Amino acid sequence: KTAMQIVEIMKVMEARHPVVMATRASAEKSAEIQAALPQATYFEMARICAIQPSVPLAIRPGKLSILTAGTADLPVAEEAAVTAELCGFQVTRLWDVGVAGIHRLLSNRHVIDQSDVLIVAAGMEGALPSVVAGLADCPVVAVPTSVGYGASFNGLAPLLTMLNSCATGIG
C-alpha cells in the first residue's frame, strides 16, 4: 500500500478503534504517514506506525515474555512486543538468549517460570523454541525468522525445526 492509502485506512479505523497499526512500515513511509497524521508514532525496530489512545489502555492480565535466539531476530520480536504493548499487555523482553550460549537462557529461568505465554523468535536452525518449551509449563509460540546463513534457507530450516519439535505446548 502507498503511504496515502495507509493514511486513509488509519483515519477510518481511528474513528472506530483505540489502537491502529500499520505493520512492516519503512521509516520513509512512516514519515509520510506522520506528516498526514501527526498523532501517529513510529516504532523503528518493530517497523510499526501506530495511533495510540490518548489514555493508555487498561493493563491486561497475564505475563507475556518474548525471547530471541540472537540479535538478528530483534525486528520480528519487537514487532510482536510492540503489538502486544499497544494492545495493553506488559511484555518482558529477553534478547540474545539462544542455544549457542545456553547459560544466558538458563540465567533467566525465572522469567520463563513466571510467564503465562512465551513468544520465541529464532532463525538459523530454530532450536530455541523447543528448548524453552522443554523448560516451560505455559504455551510457547514459536516464530521462525529468515535470518541466518548456511543451510537456514531463508527461514525454512527454523520453520521445519519448530514444526518437528517434540516439546509439549509449542505452536
For residues 135 and 37, give the distance between their C-alpha atoms in angstroms, rounded to a whole number.
44
What integer pLDDT is reported at residue 35 of this predicted model?
A: 97
Q: What average pLDDT does range 118-141 have in this prediction?
A: 93
170 falls within a domain? no
Domain of 41 in residue numbering reads as 3-51
Q: Which residues contact 60 (CB under 8 A, 6 or more apart)?
A: 87, 88, 89, 90
**Residue range 32-51, pLDDT digits in tens:** 999 999 999 999 999 999 99
* pLDDT number for residue 150: 67
Output b/e per residue, 35-62; b: 16+ Cβ within 10 A. eebeebebbeebbbbbbbeeeeeeeeee
The CATH code of the domain that includes 103 is: 3.40.50.1970
d(CA 143, CA 151): 18
- The total of structural domains in the chain comes to 2
Q: Are residues 7 and 79 in the same domain?
A: no
42/126 same-domain check: no
Residue type, 122: A
